[in-house]
Structure 1
Amino acid sequence: MFNEDVVRHYQEFLDYRRQARSADEYKPVTDSEWSEFEEHFDRRKVELGGCTRPYGSGCQHEHACLRCPMLAITPKMLPRLDEIEDDLTARRARAEHEAWLGEVEGIDLTLTFFRQKRDETRRLARVAPDELGIPVVAAPL
Structure 2
Amino acid sequence: MFNEDVVRHYQGFLDRRRQARPADEYRPVTDTEWRGFEEHFDHRKVELGGCARPYRTPCQHEHACLRCPMLNINPKMLPRLDEIETDLLARRARAEQEGWLGEIEGIDLTLTFLREKREESQRLARIAPVNLGMPGLRSAESDR
> When the two structures are superposed, what TM-score results if normalisation uses the length of structure 1?
0.77
Measured on the aligned residues, the alpha-carbon RMSD in Å equals 3.1
Q: Does 14-23 or 85-94 show the bigger shift? A: 14-23
The number of equivalent residue pairs is 131
Q: Which has the higher contact order (CA 8 A, sep 6+)?
A: 2
Q: Which residue of 1 aligns with 2:39?
A: 39
**Residue identity matched to 2:116:** Q
- Structure 1 residues 130 and 26, CA, compared in 2 at 3 Å: closer, same or farther? closer
1:57 is paired with a residue whose SS is: coil
Distance in structure 1 (CA, Å) of the matches to 2:130 and 2:11: 24
Query: What is the aligned partner in structure 2 of residue 89 from structure 1?
Result: 89
1:84, distance to aligned residue in structure 2 (A) = 0.4
- Structure 2 counterparts to residues 33-112 of structure 1, below 5 A: 33-112=33-112
TM-score by length of 2: 0.76
Percent identical: 75
Please give the per-residue CA displacement for 1:77-120, whole angstroms capped at 9, x wherever unaligned: 11111100000101111111111111111111000011000011
Matches within 5 A, 1:122-141: 122-129=122-129
Question: Where in structure 1 are there 5+ consecutive unaligned residues?
Answer: 135-141
Distance verdict in 2 for CA 1:70–1:13, change over 3 Å: farther
Offset of residue 18 of structure 1: 5.4
Check 1:17–1:109 CA distance in 2 against 1; reply closer, same or farther (3 A cut). Answer: farther
